[in-house]
């Protein structure tokens, strides 16, 4: 045991560690280029955003864009960890006003961002809170019944003729009558196992009374169940004609197997399924994918909204301008547009977009409706945190499994909505 | 004398420092947060309110009961299966038994999330196809009812842990002196008698380790739960770890979730210590 040698060894160790730490701390600040970090919560489009970052770096040699992707339910916790540890990203993708409100002190006011003038008006309130715009809509998503055109054609159903609930119901019954001949496992492939699909489905009946004012929807203390009767009609139709058991049907299987292979005629999804379908077979969505609206009051129309909003954090003043420039480029340049529309298959959330540039008829239809006068935005992203997983999802599943009545479903969701708002809104 | 003390601390210091930073300090901060209404961003002191609320929270209690049930089923099942496996692969020492050992152990090398998805495929697609081909209602609708959801989780966990626990039993079985078994044989003992009276008593320490490992693991189960059922249908298979995670990161009631976490800790610690105490006591009695 030689104390001297021992101390020398320890001293060396400390030196090595401290040098490493200092090196690490210096990393990034020595060069004069800036790195902006983009926090993405949509894993399915990661490669698209990486491509965009690469394109931007090419034309802006001093800027590096780092894409961080955490999604599928753990995005929220990862983002919080980033904020709390002081390592906040520069641009963050946030889902709905509950999340924007949560970080509103850390987000820049984007009222004067030039691209705001180009954003579709119905999408703006989804990023507005405390009188300011803190987030910019990412895209336009269409919500309705995605239907397989080939199946409809074989069954002799003209989707253009479905104009109200009665004709929708008639079409469903017609499909069911030819189930064997069409090779269907069920008319619907409703993925009852996923609470998120149940929630977006419910938004078809809960959004009307807010007239596209998502801030108002976020502030509301009660669910508006005015159209619960119509929702019950749809739910009972699904329950009767769905692939069974409905609680075993999951999102991936419903899109990639049931819908893609024509084993079901309809699934309650939007245009976000396009990349998956086209990856499985090129041109599938252009040929086979159509969308039907829900008929809630009078003439039905596909709902259009944006699930995600981009905000800029105020933690790094030296990089604010870079982040704003990047956003500006993202929404404005021909290069980014190409990746966004053709690779990521987004429908752009900006006005005066040339329809011919959109690669498939469904995207065109969604853009036309979303930018039209009667656009209707769904409100499910403004529900209280946890309402989806803990209240409406499980209760709908209980209804599907005949554990509760429709009356109980309405009462429970209403009271849990109120409770969650009380707990979370208490500032 | 002084030098010896000095060395002691010098060697302990690095790990002590790391343990404090990574485990001890966060744990203490966690205890503090369990007395606040933290939402992850702001927090104010509310005393014991979280703990009182927890005891009347039906969802939390339901999760506790489910976790308890799951632990019971998995601890019993895993140890029986693992011991049978161990006896099987130690009967003879040849290539085949070595091959079997590998096969039994492999599930343990697959991560929890992957395992969950594999078994989801088996329970839904494979079982579904079997059910429709053979017209057996037993195979259809797995994971769509609370009971089949729970059994799905239990089966998955059996499959994952048995191979690992088997290794522990194998190690202890191999350590049993051959002479005791041989002398029992000479005395005319049959296979069953050798197992009950020779092997089993000498496996007592293995039971302690295995029971402790399976119990602790089943209380902390999360990924498998997430990937296989994600708590469904209607939150009936939401185990305690998942309940805590969802309360913290879906509802953002982080002080409340922290209190639930502390309760879970106390519970697991009590069970573990209790079990260790009784198992040790049992071992000593056997030895004497």
Section A421-425 average pLDDT: 78
Note whether A423 contacts B144, CB cutoff 8 Å. Answer: no
Nearest CA in chain B to A80: B40
Cα angle for residues A206, A209, A213 (degrees, 5° grid): 100
Cβ atoms of B47 and B34 within 8 Å: the answer is no
Q: Does B234 touch chain A (CB under 8 A)?
A: yes
Residues of chain A with Cβ-Cβ distance to B7 below 8 Å are 1, 6
Cβ atoms of B133 and B78 within 8 Å: the answer is no
| Closest in B41, B124, B125 to A102, CB measured | B41
Grade residue A34 by pLDDT with cuts at 50, 70 and 90.
confident
Residues of chain A with Cβ-Cβ distance to B125 below 8 Å are 253
Section A355-383 average pLDDT: 91
Structure tokens that stand for A88 in this block:
């906040």
Q: Return mean pLDDT, chain B.
A: 87
At A346 the three-state DSSP class reads: coil
Section B105-123 average pLDDT: 88
Residues of chain A with Cβ-Cβ distance to B26 below 8 Å are none
Peptide linkage before B233 cis (omega within 30 of 0)? yes
For A348, which DSSP code? P
Q: What are the tens digits of pLDDT across the range A150-206?
A: 999 999 999 999 999 999 999 999 999 999 999 999 999 999 988 989 999 999 999
Grade residue A20 by pLDDT with cuts at 50, 70 and 90.
low
A414: which residues sit within 8 A by CB, 6+ positions away? A222, A223, A225
At B233 the three-state DSSP class reads: coil
Residues of chain B with Cβ-Cβ distance to A195 below 8 Å are 232
The pLDDT score that the predictor gives to residue A24 is: 59
Nearest CA in chain B to A75: B249
Q: Does B30 touch chain A (CB under 8 A)?
A: no
Q: What are the tens digits of pLDDT across the range B31-86?
A: 999 999 888 778 888 888 888 888 888 889 999 999 999 999 999 999 999 999 99
| Closest in A1, A76, A420 to B249, CB measured | A76
Cβ atoms of A241 and A176 within 8 Å: the answer is yes
Q: What are the tens digits of pLDDT across the range A65-92?
A: 999 998 776 788 888 888 888 888 999 9
The pLDDT score that the predictor gives to residue B283 is: 64
The pLDDT score that the predictor gives to residue A406 is: 95
Section A312-326 average pLDDT: 90
Dist CA A364 CA A372 (whole Å): 12
The pLDDT score that the predictor gives to residue A30 is: 46
Nearest-neighbour CA in chain B from A253: distance (Å): 9
Q: Does B146 touch chain A (CB under 8 A)?
A: no
Note whether A102 contacts B144, CB cutoff 8 Å. Answer: no
Tell me which long-range contacts A388-392 makes (C-beta under 8 A, separation of at least 24): A388/A195, A388/A196, A388/A198, A388/A199, A389/A195, A389/B231, A389/B246, A389/B250, A390/A416, A390/A420, A390/B59, A390/B235, A390/B246, A390/B250, A390/B251, A391/A416, A391/A417, A391/A420, A392/A195, A392/A198, A392/A199, A392/A202
B205: which residues sit within 8 A by CB, 6+ positions away? B172, B283
Q: What are the tens digits of pLDDT across the range A237-265?
A: 999 999 988 998 989 899 999 999 999 99
Section A212-237 average pLDDT: 91
The pLDDT score that the predictor gives to residue A32 is: 67
Token pair 């579904």: residue = B128
Peptide linkage before B199 cis (omega within 30 of 0)? no
CA distances from B93 to A313, B86, B174 (A): 64, 12, 11
Residues of chain B with Cβ-Cβ distance to A397 below 8 Å are 232-234
Res A26 pLDDT > 60: no
Note whether A250 contacts B124, CB cutoff 8 Å. Answer: yes
The pLDDT score that the predictor gives to residue B113 is: 87
For chain A, the residues whose C-beta falls within 8 A of a C-beta of chain B are 1, 3, 6, 10, 73-74, 76-77, 80, 83-84, 102-103, 192-193, 195, 244-248, 250, 253, 385-386, 389-390, 393-395, 397-398, 401, 403, 420, 423-424
Section A304-327 average pLDDT: 91
Cβ atoms of A270 and A143 within 8 Å: the answer is yes
| Closest in B7, B41, B234 to A398, CB measured | B234
How large a percentage of chain B has pLDDT more than 70? 97
Nearest-neighbour CA in chain A from B246: distance (Å): 8
Res B279 pLDDT > 80: no
| Closest in A247, A253, A394 to B144, CB measured | A247
Nearest-neighbour CA in chain B from A76: distance (Å): 7
Residues of chain A with Cβ-Cβ distance to B142 below 8 Å are 248
Q: Does B132 touch chain A (CB under 8 A)?
A: no
Nearest CA in chain B to A83: B41
A310: which residues sit within 8 A by CB, 6+ positions away? A91, A92, A93, A94, A135, A136, A138, A327
Domains with residue ranges and CATH for chain A = 34-139+306-363 (3.40.190.10), 145-301+384-425 (3.40.190.10)
Nearest-neighbour CA in chain B from A105: distance (Å): 10
Residues of chain B with Cβ-Cβ distance to A10 below 8 Å are 10
Cβ atoms of A85 and A106 within 8 Å: the answer is no
Radius of gyration of chain A (CA): 24
Domains with residue ranges and CATH for chain B = 57-287 (1.10.3720.10)
Q: Does B248 touch chain A (CB under 8 A)?
A: yes
The two beta strands, A145-148 and A289-292, are: antiparallel
Substitution target from A245, A258, A383 for chain B, most B beta carbons within 10 A:
A245
Nearest-neighbour CA in chain A from B47: distance (Å): 17
Residues of chain B with Cβ-Cβ distance to A423 below 8 Å are 251, 253
For A187, which DSSP code? S
Section B95-102 average pLDDT: 89
Note whether A397 contacts B232, CB cutoff 8 Å. Answer: yes
| Closest in B3, B125, B234 to A397, CB measured | B234
A36: which residues sit within 8 A by CB, 6+ positions away? A63, A64, A65, A66, A90, A91, A319, A322, A323, A326
Nearest-neighbour CA in chain A from B247: distance (Å): 8
The pLDDT score that the predictor gives to residue B213 is: 84
Section A50-66 average pLDDT: 91
Helical segments of A125-227, H only: 149-154, 165-177, 179-182, 195-206, 214-219
The pLDDT score that the predictor gives to residue B200 is: 87
Nearest-neighbour CA in chain B from A395: distance (Å): 7
Res B1 pLDDT > 80: no
Section A1-6 average pLDDT: 64
Residues of chain B with Cβ-Cβ distance to A3 below 8 Å are 3
The pLDDT score that the predictor gives to residue A425 is: 65
Q: What are the tens digits of pLDDT across the range B149-174?
A: 999 999 999 999 999 999 999 999 88
Using alpha carbons, select from A97, A123, A134, A171 the residue that is nearest to residue A303.
A123
Grade residue A367 by pLDDT with cuts at 50, 70 and 90.
very high
Residues 83-122 of B with CB under 8 A from A: 120
Dist CA A233 CA A47 (whole Å): 41
Radius of gyration of chain B (CA): 23
Cβ atoms of B221 and B241 within 8 Å: the answer is yes
CA distances from A316 to A68, A103, A319, B196, B250 (A): 17, 15, 6, 70, 27
Grade residue B190 by pLDDT with cuts at 50, 70 and 90.
confident
Res A28 pLDDT > 70: no
Q: Return mean pLDDT, chain A.
A: 89
Q: Does B233 touch chain A (CB under 8 A)?
A: yes
Section A283-302 average pLDDT: 90
Residues of chain B with Cβ-Cβ distance to A80 below 8 Å are 40-41, 249
């Amino acid at each position: 045991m030689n104390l001297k040698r021992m101390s020398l060894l320890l001293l060396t160790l400390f030196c090595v560690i401290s040098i490493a730490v200092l090196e690490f701390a210096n990393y990034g600040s020595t060069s004069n280029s800036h790195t902006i970090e983009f926090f993405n919560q949509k894993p399915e489009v990661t490669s698209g955003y990486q491509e965009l970052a690469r394109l931007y770096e090419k034309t802006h040699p001093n800027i590096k864009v780092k894409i961080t992707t955490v999604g599928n339910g753990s995005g929220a916790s990862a983002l919080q960890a980033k904020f709390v540890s002081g390592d906040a990203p520069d641009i963050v993708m946030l889902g709905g006003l509950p999340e924007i409100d949560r970080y509103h002190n850390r987000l820049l006011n984007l009222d004067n961002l030039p691209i705001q003038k180009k954003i579709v008006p119905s999408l703006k309130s989804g990023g507005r809170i405390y009188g300011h715009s803190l987030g910019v809509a990412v895209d336009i998503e269409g919500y309705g019944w995605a239907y397989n055109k080939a199946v409809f054609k074989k069954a002799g159903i003209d989707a253009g003729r479905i104009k109200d609930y009665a004709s929708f119901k008639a079409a469903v019954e017609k499909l069911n009558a030819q189930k064997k001949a069409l090779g269907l496992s069920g008319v619907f492939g409703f993925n009852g196992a996923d609470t998120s699909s149940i929630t977006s489905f419910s938004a078809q009946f809960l959004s009307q009374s807010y007239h596209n004012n998502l801030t108002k929807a976020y502030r509301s203390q009660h669910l508006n169940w005015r159209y619960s009767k119509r929702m019950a009609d749809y739910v009972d139709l699904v329950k009767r004609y769905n692939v069974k058991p409905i609680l075993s049907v999951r999102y991936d299987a419903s899109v990639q197997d049931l819908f893609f292979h024509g084993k079901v005629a309809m699934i309650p999804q939007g245009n976000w399924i396009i990349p998956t379908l086209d990856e499985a077979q090129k041109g599938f969505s252009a040929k086979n994918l159509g969308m039907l609206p829900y008929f809630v009051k009078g003439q039905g129309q596909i709902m259009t909204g944006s699930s995600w909003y981009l905000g800029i954090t105020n933690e790094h003043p030296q990089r604010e301008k870079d982040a704003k420039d990047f956003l500006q480029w993202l929404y404005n340049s021909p290069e980014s547009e190409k990746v966004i529309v053709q690779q990521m298959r987004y429908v752009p959330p900006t006005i005066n977009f040339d329809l011919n540039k959109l690669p498939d008829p469904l995207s065109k239809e969604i853009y036309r409706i979303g930018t039209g006068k009667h656009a209707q935005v769904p409100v499910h992203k403004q529900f209280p945190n946890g309402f989806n997983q803990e209240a409406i999802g499980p209760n709908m599943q209980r209804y599907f499994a005949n554990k509760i009545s429709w009356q109980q479903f309405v009462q429970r969701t209403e009271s849990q909505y109120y409770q969650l708002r009380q707990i979370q809104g208490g500032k | 004398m002084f030098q010896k003390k000095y060395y002691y601390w010098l060697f302990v210091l690095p790990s002590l420092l790391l343990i404090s930073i990574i485990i001890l300090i966060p744990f203490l901060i966690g205890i503090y947060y369990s007395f606040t209404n933290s939402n992850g961003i702001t927090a104010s002191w509310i005393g014991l309110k979280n703990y009182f609320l927890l005891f009347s929270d039906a969802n939390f209690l339901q999760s506790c009961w489910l976790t308890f049930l799951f632990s019971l089923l998995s601890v019993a099942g895993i140890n029986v299966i693992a011991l049978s496996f161990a006896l099987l692969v130690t009967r003879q020492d040849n290539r085949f038994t070595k091959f079997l050992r590998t096969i039994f152990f492999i599930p343990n090398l697959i991560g929890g999330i992957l395992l969950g998805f594999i078994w989801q495929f088996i329970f839904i697609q494979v079982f579904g196809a079997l059910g429709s081909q053979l017209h057996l209602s037993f195979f259809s609708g797995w994971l769509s009812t609370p009971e089949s959801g729970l059994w799905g989780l239990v089966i998955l966990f059996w499959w994952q842990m048995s191979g690992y626990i088997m290794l522990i039993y194998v190690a202890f079985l191999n350590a049993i002196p051959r002479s005791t078994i041989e002398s029992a044989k000479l005395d005319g003992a049959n296979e069953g008698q050798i197992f009950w009276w020779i092997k089993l008593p000498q496996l007592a320490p293995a039971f302690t380790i295995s029971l402790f490992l399976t119990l602790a693991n089943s209380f902390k189960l999360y990924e498998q739960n997430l990937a296989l059922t994600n708590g469904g249908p209607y939150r009936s298979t939401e185990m305690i770890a998942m309940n805590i995670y969802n309360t913290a990161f879906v509802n953002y009631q982080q002080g409340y979730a922290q209190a639930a976490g502390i309760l879970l800790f106390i519970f697991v610690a009590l069970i573990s210590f209790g079990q260790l105490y009784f198992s040790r006591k049992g071992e000593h009695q056997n030895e004497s």
